[in-house]
Structure 1
Amino acid sequence: MTPRDASDANDNRWSDLDRPPLNAAALRRALVREGGLWSQVDVVQRTGSTNSDLVDRAAKGEAREGAVLIAEEQTAGRGRLDRQWTAPPRSGLFFSILLNPTEVPVARWGWLPLLTGVAVATGLSRSAGVDTALKWPNDLLVTVGGEERKTGGILAERAGDDGVVIGVGVNVSLRADELPVPQAGSLALAGATGTDRDPILRGVLRSLEQWYVKWRRTGGDPAASGLQETYAAGCATLGRVVRAELPGDRSISGEAVAVDGDGRLVLATENGVQEPVGAGDIVHLRPA
């Protein structure tokens, strides 16, 4: 199926009146401006993966830095380790952005998913009134009925030699009977002040622009930009005993004590060694 702009004709446009479609034209007017980061904003009714589509557009020269691609429905949305991400149409925000941080050393590009987490959490707090925490490295957590639930995730992929596509998925209006797994949540279930996706998306993208510009101006320095400190302050993983499930079927357990200058999670193990973890799944074993 060829993706279509969601502002165009859509057979099921008003099939769920609690979930109106995004207004692509209004989003462009609000976000695309001279001198700003966002260069184009496209909304498609349905596609497999916005990340795959935007990586492909970048490879063909059809997208430049600041391109935003949003889907009302993803049929092949992916999380880390190629896990599937599914949700009903228009129930969340599923989008990807293209960045070209060429003035930042490539060694610091690993901070981009963490930067996105900080920016999305900040944007959700402002626009939806929901306190959102971060689970290292790229999960967005909310509290539902006193329990920690995952309401979103972030996936970064290289796009050529000088580009990075970052995908974001956030469950906005999912009801309890629509959750894909019991551990999932949504902004609505977490008590959001509203679930109108247009202002929520604008708030998130404005927050992303602010953080990215600040980070880029400091050459990607996580300390000078305030990113490292802010991430640590909002990270629900720090101070907890966790298990890191690493590539190669290896795992280590310990207390998560810091996020270092490379964005790695530092674990203090039982034998007194501090071990940085750069990749892997983190399981929270008990509360802080």
Structure 2
Amino acid sequence: MFVDAIERIDPFTRPLHSIVRLYGHSDIIPGSATLFFVNEEGCAVTCKHVAELITNADAIYQNHLNFLAERRAVQREKNIAHHLSRLEEKYKLRPETLVRVRNSFVNCVDVFREVSIDMHPTQDLAILRFRGFNRTLYRSYATFLRDTSRVKVGRSLCRLGYPFPDFTNFRFNPTTDDIEWTTEGRTASPRFPIDGIITRLLTENGEVTAIEMSTPGLRGQSGGPLFDTNGLIYGMQSATRHLHLGFDIENRDVLVNGRITRVSNYPFLNVGQCVHVDVIKQFLRERGVKYYEG
């Protein structure tokens, strides 16, 4: 149903690969997100929560560097455990705290000087502008739905993104005590479509701002396009909501593999939430970004 549309969407939809390190660990956690380009000028859109990971990367690392500098200064002090605890409190470091984030924009442009980011004040939406590139590595760009009266409950739509971070081109460098990208290993992650139907239009202050889908958006699909069978963009995957169904089971005996087992179950329906196309187009207009409609 969406075979031809995916072939039209894929050339301008790109993954953002990320590697992160947590405080006190050398293990590397890979992750991915999605963005898509809206014109030939190096302008793309993604989720605000994805853009925040990009903009906060330097501050996260600088906080860790400041901590390391102070830790070295007290390394030979008596009661080092007390000093370390004080520094961890000062720099808000816990075992789950991010201390390093590195991002890689895959097949977006050949080189770039900077990426400027505009974040929507209320919606999970951001504009990325690549500056200083020589040529684009994406092919074509999005065409947004002009007649948004077609955004109706029951319409079948699809999302495309990169939820599975299968890339392996990274390592921990013990010499520098840092994580880094390498030229070895897999550099790509598989694209992954997921379809569904529109179940509700979500509003804020009387204005439609989001589209609810009958199927969840997967984590790395955040920032990916929502489109119809013609490849027209209806919105952007943003979040997954968990609706409690109320069919709860508590301490019920059921037969499992030939044995009576006591189980409890609290079912939820996972539905996708997408930024509405009108919100995206309005924000692009406000920021002076060219886009196309069809």
The TM-score with structure 2 as length reference comes to 0.23
The structure carrying a bigger helix percent of its residues is 1
Question: Which structure has the bigger radius of gyration?
Answer: 2
